[in-house]
Amino acid sequence: MADAQFQDLLDQLTLEEKISLLAGADGWQTQEIPRLGIGSLKTTDGPAGARGALSVDGPPAAFLPAPVSQAATWSKDHLYALGQLLCREVKTKAAQVLLAPTICCARNPLGGRNFESYSEDPVLSGQLAIQYVRGVQETGEVAATVKHFVANEQEYQRFTINAEISERALREIYLRPFETVIKSQNPPKCVMSAYNLVNGAHMDANNILQDILRNEWRFEGLVMSDWGGTNSTVESLIAGCDLEMPGPPEKRGSLLLEAAQNKPQGLLEAIDASVLRVLKLLAELKLLNLSPEDAVKTRKGVETSSNNKDDQKLLREIAADGIVLLKNSNNALPLDPYSLSGKKIALIGPNALNGTPGGGGSATMVPLYQTQPLAAFESALAEMNISATIKHSPGAFIHKWLPLVDSKFVADDNKSMIRLDFFASDDFSGPLVETQYRDSSYMDLFDSAPSAWYEDKKPHSVKISSRLTPETTGLHSFGISSVGNARLFVNDQLLIDNFDWKKVGEAFYSFGSVEVQASYEMTAGQTYDIRLEASSKVIPKDAASDDPVHVFGVQPSVRLGFIEQLPSDPIGDAVKLSNESDVTIVIIGLNDEWESEGYDRQTMKLPGGQDALIESLLRESHNPEGIVVVNQSGSPVEMGWANKIGTIVQAWYGGQEAGNALADVLLGRVNPSGKLPISWPMQYEDLGFEAKSWPGVDGVVKYTEEMSVGYRRYQNAQIQPRWWFGHGLSYTSFKYEEAGLSKEDDGWVVSVTVKNTGSLAGRDVVQCYISSESTKELKAFEKTSLLVPGASETVRMTISERDMAHWNIESKKWVLQAGTYGLYIGSNAGDEDAIKQQLEVVQEMEWLP
């Protein structure tokens, strides 16, 4: 549509209709206006796949490797292909806006959402985001949303924390990935503002939106708030936050209409500007000029699932290419599959039988299917007609809460696990409003309660029922945490009373109670009736948000956990199995309970006795040199035993193909080419964070490290990390030859020939760093194609003059000082064998922002 046509449509809208377009209608969609043919825009999380309109129990979808795993590929081609896949996935969920990618820089390894971001480095994050967004948007049918703008690096007090950041650090680190992708040839159509404050102002009402995002970077797309992250009625709109999400509106709607009728200076103009941006996005996504009937239908799109072999192959390849071989000093990997014939293999560890495909929060998915480590290993050997005996022992248990219930639970329809009966009262009385059946005992009702509950906003209650048949006899444990009041009955006996709880825990984005547990003596094969009663309540004031009416804390959601009695000596059992086996693989790490939206980790140490498990195996195993340790996590963990172990693999969270991808790498079907997108500390204390700089004091977190984020910190402090940013080994070897540097119009071209000098085909990542002040900073990178032994490939990377500039606080410009700079071509940020050249800048240059 031409600008005149948009203006004509704007003129036809009443003030009430304009305002209705500036807030969500429900949890995921905007308001349609049938009389003018304006449809509803549908959004969907997110970072690990297109989930659709339900946080849990929605239609299955492709479960992608976690973003940090995607970044560990260092492959622009892979990120572009993922974007294309996500475009297709979004359409299966009848949506048009993907709430991804997350491109905040990982500032501290304890950040709860680090797994959901790409990297600690703004260049790597920005360049990968360009390709991801290009893939998502290239058909014109789907919009990408970069988030969370800006400085959303922690979950602690995430709704209220004020991040105090110097102008230079903000420009060079935290704004940089956003600037990179927004100034690219294919900028994202949407930006999501962060919950937090930056230098005293909430991001939805921060001058950064107008001054930098729109005026400097010329961003013309739509800015939406994070969910429940609109903090004012007038100020956020004038600052340039176009859309309050979710709905029904809390800060806009009738409040904005009342404010607009008083006609404060600039408000009506801001309303029109935001409405125009909403209309233009609707037009791009073909949601304007509809018939009234079709406009209504946009709120009722049918969600489906798509599962094809090409997507499966791509996700398996990306999950495998993101796996990082951290250490292989004994050459225990790759395992020779044919030497395993007739052998006994021990898969030990809490993540060995059922691994972790992803982190928690908005990255939670209902996968199309899930491959697990042990089963995938068995399947891979079977495909090669290799007969081996594989046994499992957990060795340790890492549940933060009791595990969610599984197929031992059956609802009264004999198909689902759980039945939910909803009532329009807080005491389970009155007529039944609705009945639902579910297959997850994580019953988050934020977006799945009956529609009447959202409309009347009165207290409600829900009865939840199931039947349980345990497999073993013993003292089994139940646990519940709830947003509202909750009670658990087993065979009509009150087992847990969580009514009127006072202490806030970390479940439900830190709006739920701490988990309350109780045990019950049960007999194998006997069926027990399970009943939960839950109702609304006001969240205590010490909740994470200090906001008792936040959208995540309204509905009486419940998490039900259950576990059968555990073995008395899991470490002893694991050591015994290892000593009975020819090969021992230990799969340890974290899971979506430890890394999630809503809270940060409290320590870098592995939970649940996993360190003791590995130390015992090292001490008591008959073949400690042959032990292979695989870690699954989205951020670093301490490994005090690392110097004693010969082989360590970082597998991240690999999505639905996590098990297959790990088997491919361990068995040598895939030569690992992943590189760390984050630095790996020896121990947390090496980072030097004080309380004021993490997680903050009195509502303020000070970014005292300035630009010394990640590998820059190690270089400046001259501290050795356990593994440098960019580190990653291969089953083959590479040699860099014929490095060249040539000046072009506004930058330089760096070239280097990479030769595979080993015996296996593999891929390498060439990294180019420039010395700047006291650190070397990543400026360019490229991944080679698959090189067979003896083959070579010349890699070319471009570095612009502007890429090398630093922010000058006095002049408010980007400045590149004249002088000689060191250029390093190597395999990680601390590579002592990197090829070094010199780059000359003849005269000082500067650029306006």
| pLDDT per position as a tens digit, 141-186 | 999 999 999 999 999 999 999 999 999 999 999 999 999 999 999 9
pLDDT above 50 (res 545): no
Conformation bin of residue 44: beta by default, left when phi > 0, alpha when psi is -120 to 50: beta
**Statement: residue 459 has pLDDT above 90:** no
CA distance 701 to 16: 40
The residues annotated as belonging to the active site are 226
Q: Please compute the mean of the pLDDT values over residues 572-593 and round it to a whole number.
A: 97
> What residues contact 308, with CB distance under 8 A and at least 6 apart?
none
CA-CA distance, 401 to 382, in Å (whole number)? 35
Question: Where does the pLDDT of residue 263 fall: very low under 50, low under 70, confident under 90, or very high at 90 and above?
Answer: confident
What letter represents residue 767's amino acid?
Answer: Q
101 residue type, one letter: P
Dihedral of alpha carbons 749, 750, 753, 754, sign? negative
Q: Rounded mean pLDDT of the chain?
A: 95
Mean pLDDT of 692-700: 98
Name the token pair of 807: 């922010």
What is the bridge-based pairing of β-strands 162-164 and 197-198?
A: parallel
Q: Give me the pLDDT at residue 698, please.
A: 97
Higher pLDDT, 563 or 263: 563
pLDDT of residue 550: 66
> Are 486 and 461 within 8 A, CB to CB?
no
Task: Average the pLDDT over 366-379 and give the result.
Answer: 96
pLDDT band at 541 (very low <50, low <70, confident <90, very high): low
What is residue 539's predicted lDDT score, i.e. its pLDDT?
56
**734-847 carries CATH number 2.60.40.10:** yes
Query: pLDDT at position 368, please?
Result: 95
Does 612 have pLDDT greater than 60? Answer: yes
Longest Cα pair distance anywhere in the chain, in angstroms? 83
Domain 309-397+569-677 has CATH 3.40.50.1370: no
The four Cα atoms 264, 267, 272, 273 give a dihedral, to 10 degrees, of 150
Bond preceding residue 248 cis, omega within 30 of 0:
yes
The confidence band for 546, taking pLDDT boundaries of 50, 70 and 90, is very low
pLDDT digits (tens, 9 = 90+) for 184-210: 999 999 999 999 999 999 999 999 999
* Alpha carbon distance 616, 621 (integer Å): 8
- Summarize the confidence of residues 121-144 as an average pLDDT: 98
Residue 446 has pLDDT above 90, yes or no: no
> Is 703 a residue whose pLDDT tops 90?
yes
Strand positions, DSSP E, 696-746 = 700-702, 734-744
Does the pLDDT value for residue 548 go beyond 50? no
pLDDT tens column, 743-794? 998 999 999 999 999 999 999 999 999 997 778 999 999 999 999 999 999 9
- Domain borders along the chain are 309-397+569-677, 409-563, 734-847
CATH of domain 409-563: 2.60.120.260
Please report, rounded to a whole number, the percentage of residues in the chain having pLDDT higher than 70. 98
How is residue 15 written in tokens?
């003030």
pLDDT surpasses 80 at 644: yes
Residue 721, pLDDT > 50, answer: yes
Average pLDDT over residues 533-547: 63
Residue 551 has pLDDT above 90, yes or no: no
Answer with the residue of higher pLDDT: 165 or 547. Answer: 165
Spell out the residues 6+ positions from residue 645 whose beta carbon is closer than 8 angstroms to its own: 327, 614, 618, 627, 629, 639
Mean pLDDT of 289-306: 96
**Contact (Cβ atoms closer than 8 angstroms) between residue 642 and residue 327:** yes
Kindly report whether the global pTM for this prediction surpasses the value 0.75: yes
Q: What is the pLDDT of residue 540?
A: 54
Position 406 scores a pLDDT of: 85
